[in-house]
Amino acid sequence: METTNKRIWMITGISSGLGKALAETVIASGDFVIGTFRNKTQTEQFNQEYKGKAFGITLDITETDKVTEAVHSIFNNYGRINVLVNNAGVGYVGAIEEASLEEVRAVFEANFFGTLHLTQAVLPFMREAKQGHILQISSHGGIKAFAGFGVYNASKFALEGFSEALAQEVKPLGIKVSIVEPGPFRTNFAGKGLQIAQKTIDEYAETSGAFKAKLKGVDGKQEGDPMKASQAIIDLVNADNPSLRMPLGKTALMTINMKLESVKADLEQHEKVASETVFS
């Protein structure tokens, strides 16, 4: 298949939601998509529908060895990845005390370790080519935490932390990094895609319990349009100087501004004592 004049995008988790919308929009724009599914049947259906325009692979990003093999196979067959979109991940709701370590580790395997390893696997090839753009699909919850969302918040905070450092490390090498921070979008995130703590503690009903109910209540009614978000992401990639962070949605703007104001207030409150805790 001819891909010489096309950018090649690798997008993880394209079976539904933002990943699916982005893959469809990128294909419609004329670029080539290599997308990942965890379900083999979905992979086969995708390859039938988009033959010559895209290629689906069956891959769970938490399976380290298979991720490495997949990346080497892509570069052997296609020669490059111009844009890597780390979209695959899981949602999780539950109070911190309700979360088991097994549940927490499963969230981090998908949202942090899987994404970290795939990024590391692609970087040597991008370094050699002296080009590439890595897009990390985070969340407004990667900036501001919410009661009942702490484990998910922690995984996205971790994603943002390594990505912010990575951006500084690879900028001199011709590689760009951007962190996309969507608010609530009309996907399956709050529906069948959401994992819920198995343990419930009544005392958290008014905090994490209320958040859980709210999240379920907005399923299918979220403000965000995945197709508009997809075009915004393509526009970011097309920009001459893409920003490190890009919030998406009115809610994301509101909550991130709330976090910035809160941090600024704390800095101002403790500015005097902070400046005095040094050797004189």
Q: What is the 3-state secondary structure (H, E, C) of 82-138?
A: CEEEECCCCEEECCCCCCCHHHHHHHHHHHHHHHHHHHHHHHHHHHHHCCEEEEEEC
In 10 A of CB 212, how many CB atoms?
A: 24
Residue 64's contacts (CB-CB under 8 Å, 6 or more residues apart) are 117
What are the beta bridge partners of residue 93?
A: 196
What's the pLDDT at 77? 95
What's the pLDDT at 91? 92
Q: Which of 92, 152, 178, 212 is catalytic?
A: 152
Q: Which of 15, 138, 163, 230 is catalytic?
A: 138
| Interval 212-243: pLDDT, tens | 888 776 766 677 889 999 999 999 999 999 99
Separation in Å, CA 67 to CA 74, 137, 256: 11, 18, 33
What's the pLDDT at 216? 73
What's the pLDDT at 217? 67
Active-site residue, 15 included: no
Q: Taking a C-beta distance cutoff of 8 angstroms, is the pair 140, 255 a contact?
A: yes
Active-site residue, 50 included: no
Q: Taking a C-beta distance cutoff of 8 angstroms, is the pair 172, 70 a contact?
A: no
* DSSP designation for 203: G
3-state helix, strand, coil in the chain (%, to 5): 50, 15, 30
Residue 234's contacts (CB-CB under 8 Å, 6 or more residues apart) are 25, 26, 29
Active-site residue, 138 included: yes
What's the pLDDT at 222? 75
What's the pLDDT at 219? 66
Q: Which of 20, 144, 156, 176 is catalytic?
A: 156
Sequence ranges of the domains in the chain: 8-249
Q: Taking a C-beta distance cutoff of 8 angstroms, is the pair 246, 179 a contact?
A: yes
Token pair 């938490």: residue: 62
Q: What homologous superfamily does CATH list for 8-249?
A: NAD(P)-binding Rossmann-like Domain (3.40.50.720)
Q: Which residues in the chain come in under a pLDDT of 70?
A: 1-2, 186-193, 217, 219-221
pLDDT averaged over every residue in the chain: 93
Question: Structure tokens of 245?
Answer: 């962070």
What's the pLDDT at 192? 64
What's the pLDDT at 190? 52
